[in-house]
Amino acid sequence: MTDPAADDPHPPPPWTWDAGSAAVELTLLAPLVVLILLFIAAAARGTDARGQVDAAAAAAARAASAARSPVEATAAAQAAAEGGLTVGSAACRTMHVTVDTSAFVRGGLARATVACRVDLADLGGLRLPATRTLTSTATSPLDVFRAVS
């Protein structure tokens, strides 16, 4: 006994057997694509925040080294760091500036540390921590030929 479909001079096109497979593939791959996009967004936010924190720490150290006294150095560093960071944004939710003026003498160093909390809670699905704290420290020398009080 022979198969009538095998003797058919006009067989159906070969692509008719996979009708609907594109929809299944899209359904299976869509969550993966979304997770990849969320991961890219998290990486971009972290990279942006890292650059902002590094720049704010450098600006704070420079401002502290230009001050005449340790009290002025702390205030100048705080203002410079706040000017360099957009506090309250997703890239930096909160900021804390610490200024080390223990070596605030002629030829000494001013050291500023900036800590920033990055918010990742809105990027759900990646099982990342809700916040991540980034810290950066920068040092700037005090002028040797300048009076310090």
For residue 105, give every residue at least 6 positions away whose Cβ sits within 8 Å of its Cβ, in sequence order, or none.
142, 148
**Would residue 68 count as lying in a domain?**
yes
**Would residue 111 count as lying in a domain?**
yes
For residue 25, give every residue at least 6 positions away whose Cβ sits within 8 Å of its Cβ, in sequence order, or none.
none
Does residue 86 have a pLDDT over 80?
A: no
Number of structural domains in the chain: 1
13 or 58, higher pLDDT: 58
The two structure tokens encoding residue 1: 């006994």
Domain containing 34 equals 26-141
**Would residue 39 count as lying in a domain?**
yes
**Would residue 149 count as lying in a domain?**
no
Q: Give the CA-trace dihedral at 22, 24, 26, 29, to 10 degrees.
A: -130
The two structure tokens encoding residue 120: 């990742």
Phi and psi for 136 in degrees, rounded to 5?
A: -140, 140
pLDDT band for 19, please (50, 70, 90 cuts): low
110-130, pLDDT tens digit by residue? Answer: 999 999 988 888 777 777 788
pLDDT of residue 4: 61
22-56, pLDDT tens digit by residue? Answer: 778 888 899 889 889 988 988 888 898 899 999 99
**Would residue 8 count as lying in a domain?**
no
pLDDT of residue 132: 87
**Would residue 85 count as lying in a domain?**
yes
96-108, pLDDT tens digit by residue? Answer: 999 999 988 888 9
For residue 60, give every residue at least 6 positions away whose Cβ sits within 8 Å of its Cβ, in sequence order, or none.
77, 78, 80, 81, 84, 97, 99, 112, 114, 138
Phi and psi for 113 in degrees, rounded to 5?
A: -120, 125
pLDDT of residue 3: 64
pLDDT of residue 18: 63
